[in-house]
Amino acid sequence: MSSTVPDLGDTDQLKAMLEDVASPEQLRALLDAPGVDDEMIDGFVAAVGAEGVLDKVFGLMGEHFVAERAGNDGGVVRWDVTAPGGTLSYGLSIRDGAAIGERGAPAGPKVTLTLSVPTLLRLCAGRLNGVEGFMTGRIKLAGDMMFGAKLPGWFDY
């Protein structure tokens, strides 16, 4: 995977880059490329479609969930993600040793996190600490704060 800044006008190249991301390490390589900032990330998301990016991210969350770290804890997390074109909601259900992400606002979430696409990508790549994101206002949390504070530790970055 290339770690150079993509041409935002080449949608095929951008979709191929997104398709190639299979791990937090690969996501970090993209985010760490020279010139990649929030504006570049939003441009990428606008070009390939926010749903495609978020579907990929929430699919990868399930693959990088470490059940032993969560123990018997679990519940539903609602993610309200601000993307170019508006806010999209996703649910992440953590139960029975698995984390399953899906498009749409889940019913009865234990916690709701509100953040931008760039913040979500940095969080998932291990480039932003969840507590730091919350303390600096980049991540808003409603609901069970203790559950929300433990959540980042349950994934392998």
pTM score of the predicted model:
0.89
| Window from 3-7, 41-45, 115-119 with minimum mean pLDDT | 3-7
Distance CA 157, CA 58 (A): 14
Name the residue with tokens 């191929």: 16
Query: Reduced to 3 states, what is the DSSP secondary structure of residue 87?
Result: strand
- Model confidence over 113-149: pLDDT tens digits? 999 999 999 999 989 998 899 999 999 999 999 999 8
Q: What are phi and psi of 3, to 5 degrees?
A: -110, 30
**Shortest CA distance to 147 belongs to which of 95, 79, 75?**
75
